[in-house]
């Protein structure tokens, strides 16, 4: 993650964008970039503390959905196909 930018902020809301690179470093190969993109976050101030109300990833290239850790309630996370990339495994994580 890199370059955390507050795009918009009021006294009770904020929109934040963070740029990302997802990569892999196999034992026998050089660094492999899998995709780039952004983490986009909406926040609200509740009870004097900032709370994430929406967090989603916009990947610039193919990104197969990964398994979620145990304990996520049904409906908490959904994989939505990205309309701008024609690939069956591409998703925006919302």
Mean pLDDT per 10-residue segment, the chain (94 residues): 88 94 80 84 94 86 72 73 54 46
Confidence at residue 85, expressed as pLDDT on a 0 to 100 scale: 54
β-strand partners of 58? 38
What are the Cα distances from residue 80, in Å, to 43, 47, 61, 62, 94? 21, 31, 14, 13, 7
pTM of the model: 0.61
């Amino acid at each position: 993650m890199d370059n955390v930018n507050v795009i918009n902020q009021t006294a009770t809301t904020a929109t934040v964008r963070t740029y990302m690179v997802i990569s892999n470093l196999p034992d026998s190969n050089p660094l492999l970039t899998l995709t780039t993109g952004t983490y986009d976050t909406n926040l609200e101030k509740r009870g004097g503390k900032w709370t994430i109300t929406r967090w989603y990833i916009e990947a610039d290239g193919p990104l197969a959905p990964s398994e979620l850790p145990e304990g996520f309630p049904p409906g908490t996370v959904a994989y939505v196909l990205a309309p701008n990339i024609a690939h069956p495994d591409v998703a925006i994580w919302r």
